[in-house]
Amino acid sequence: MKIYKFTLVSMLLFGFLISGVQLASGQINHFVMDNQSPKKIFNCIECHDDYEFITGYPRSVHSENSCTSCHKGIDDIEKHSEGLQLPTKPYCKSCHAREAEDFRMNVHFLMQNFSCYDCHLDIHTIQRTEEKRKKEIINRCAACHPQDDYVKSGHALAVLEKDNLDAASCDDCHGLHNTRVLHTSAEKYPEEAREFYNKSCKQCHGDEEMMRRNGLSTITVTEYEHTYHGKVQDLGYPTTVAGCADCHTSHNILPKDDPRSTVHPDNLVKNCGRCHTNSNANFVKYAPHADYTDYSKHPTLFITFFAMSALLIIVFVFFWIHTFLWWRKDYWDKHKMEAEGKVLRTHLPVDQAMQIVQRFDVKERIMHFILIVSFFLLVITGMPLKFHTTTWARFLIQVLGGAHTAGLIHRISALVMIGLFVYTLLLTIRYLKPEGKFSLKAIWKKLISETSLFPNKKDWEDLKGMFRWFFDKGEKPKFERWTYWEKFDFLAVFWGMFAIGGSGIILWAPEWTSRFFPGWIFNVATIIHSDEALLASGFIFTVHFFNTHFIPSKFPLDTVIFTGRYRLDELYESRPLEYERLKEAGRLDQIKRKYPNIITSLISAGVGLFSLALGLVLTVLIIWGLFF
């Protein structure tokens, strides 16, 4: 009995000692002070002696706060104990101003009139533990929200059962205090929702270290951004394309080998069909996250990517070297003659030299003008997609009226160019048609004739002779009506139209295309369309512009393609073999024309200079997009 009393007294003394230490150290600040009588102090735990106040509160994040920090308005303990005087409602904003401001745009506040403590039920015992935070958030949200899609699968399962803190909890996608009502309604606010959820997904899946740590692809986000969907998203127009949640849904985010996953092979036709109404088994073979540099996973795409990259490098390297050597030779020779006081004179008599002759007829000039306009429109509307991460791409797409309008202009321009190409094919067929009896021999003879745009043996000799001339090892070759670089330009249009036009049609009507080809053809078409467009625009704005306008003898502009006419001495100097052929045939008089009138000259100069200036600006933007 004595031992029992001693033990009881010891426990009471120990309890008072611990409480005294806690009170003295400020670990339990549970006094209520009367504002009117500062000397009057109330001890809250005399009545509020539950576990959460005695033990839980000293360990909580609010342990440094006194009871009156939140519970104000008590000045009479007797009335309070009788329930006649209650404390004022806690005002969390006094300490948590930023969170309170964010919460004002929260769906729970706007639509359910929630207060802070509707979620923070354990306000007296809440602790700041990062290890448990994700689980607590999931459990708290799941108390009201259905659990089937999220808590029992995907990210939440990894957090709750596997303790994977890298996996997303509710707040990682929806936000915590700033979950705005707009973000929760993809049906009512699709643009706001897509932009918000895409940003949330990319935040984690774009973290290479996190993805590597979890054995996931480190370039998923990059691969998505290379698709049409990702590019339009980057340009700021998410409503017209699928975002992350459109394919993977919002909560049921499972690996593609899980039958419940929306991206499981058995579910893809239905999933894609929500946007692409004619989706089929071929269509869903498209690879939305394809790594073109990974041969083991995508050998066809790797070969296509490698081939197009090699084509770009070979063409640009060869012709840029050709251009530089030509400029050096032409400029050096011109400078040398000027330094020696020599005057550039024509080999023809002055009265003949100044005679104007026709090179292009009206039809050819109109065709070239249509080609210029459609080409520029295609480049201007297509470049923002190619370089979608640049600031100028967003600005340009806004100037064009948005992604939808830019796409419409792009397709109309493509139809115009395709029509022009078909017309050129008809003219080519008419040119090759034999005058007499049909024979392959007669067609071949016309194909390699001196007036044909098809390469022949002389072009190879001219190319070698040009390089000898570049290095002062021989005379400049004598050309016929068409030079080898002009023939290359012409044939490049044929290749380009099949490459760019064909791939463009495939991408324009993917559901129709998938009736005949597997979906990975869209990936192939994307590579070809993008790289061939870069090749075409880069070649035109650098090599073609130099060959026709920027060589020292023609700088800054050659208007022959606009007026269709030039001087006879220009024909003699640049195409001496054509001059001799026309002279021998007595046809020089047939091509003589009057000098262009002032209106024609002004329009030709204006259109030409504007085109050159626009091409140079676009070249700067392309370089910016490629390297900066």
Contacts of 494 (CB under 8 A, 6+ apart): none
Q: Quick check: bond before 576 cis, omega within 30? A: no
pLDDT value of position 17: 46
pLDDT of residue 13 exceeding 60: no
More confident position, 163 or 536: 536
- Average predicted confidence (pLDDT) for the chain: 87
pLDDT value of position 565: 96
pLDDT value of position 134: 87
pLDDT of residue 43 exceeding 90: no
Distances (CA, A) of 552 to 422, 488, 617: 35, 22, 21
- Name the least confident of 66-80, 146-160, 260-274, 369-383: 146-160
| Nearest CA among 245, 246, 250, 198 for reference residue 221 | 198
List the structure tokens of 581.
């052929």
Long-range contacts of 388-395 (CB under 8 A, 24+ apart): 388/225, 388/230, 388/231, 388/232, 388/234, 388/235, 389/225, 389/234, 390/621, 390/624, 390/625, 392/621, 392/624, 392/625, 393/235, 393/625, 394/235, 394/236
Bridge partners for 33 per DSSP = 41
Each residue of 268-300: pLDDT tens digit? Answer: 999 999 889 889 999 999 999 999 999 999 999
CB burial of residue 279 (10 Å; 0-12, 13-18, 19+): buried
Q: What is the mean pLDDT of residues 576-589?
A: 95
Q: What percent of the chain has pLDDT over 70?
A: 90
pLDDT value of position 524: 96
pLDDT value of position 436: 74
Each residue of 550-572: pLDDT tens digit? Answer: 998 889 999 999 999 999 999 99
Contacts of 35 (CB under 8 A, 6+ apart): 75
Each residue of 312-323: pLDDT tens digit? Answer: 999 999 999 999
pLDDT value of position 457: 94
pLDDT of residue 183 exceeding 70: no
Q: What is the mean pLDDT of residues 411-417?
A: 97
Pairing of strands 356-358, 41-43: unpaired
Each residue of 337-378: pLDDT tens digit? Answer: 888 887 666 778 888 889 999 999 999 999 999 999 999 999
pLDDT value of position 508: 94
pLDDT value of position 39: 38
DSSP H helical ranges for 542-597: 545, 560-563, 568-574, 576-584
**For residue 125, what pLDDT band results from cuts at 50, 70 and 90?**
confident
Computed over its alpha carbons, how large is the radius of gyration of the chain?
Answer: 39
SS3 labels along 403-439:
HHHHHHHHHHHHHHHHHHHHHHHHHHHHHHCCCCCCC
Q: What is the mean pLDDT of residues 400-410?
A: 95
pLDDT value of position 467: 97
Q: What percent of the chain has pLDDT over 90?
A: 54
Q: What is the mean pLDDT of residues 58-74?
A: 85
pLDDT value of position 347: 77
pLDDT value of position 34: 39
pLDDT value of position 199: 85
Each residue of 133-155: pLDDT tens digit? Answer: 888 888 888 888 877 667 766 78
**For residue 28, what pLDDT band results from cuts at 50, 70 and 90?**
very low
Angle between helical axes of 362-386 and 598-627 (0-180°, round to 10): 20
pLDDT of residue 1 exceeding 70: no
**Which residue in this structure is represented by tokens 């339009």?**
232
Q: What is the mean pLDDT of residues 395-400?
A: 95
pLDDT of residue 122 exceeding 60: yes
Is 301 in contact with 523 (CB distance < 8 Å)?
Answer: yes
pLDDT value of position 101: 87
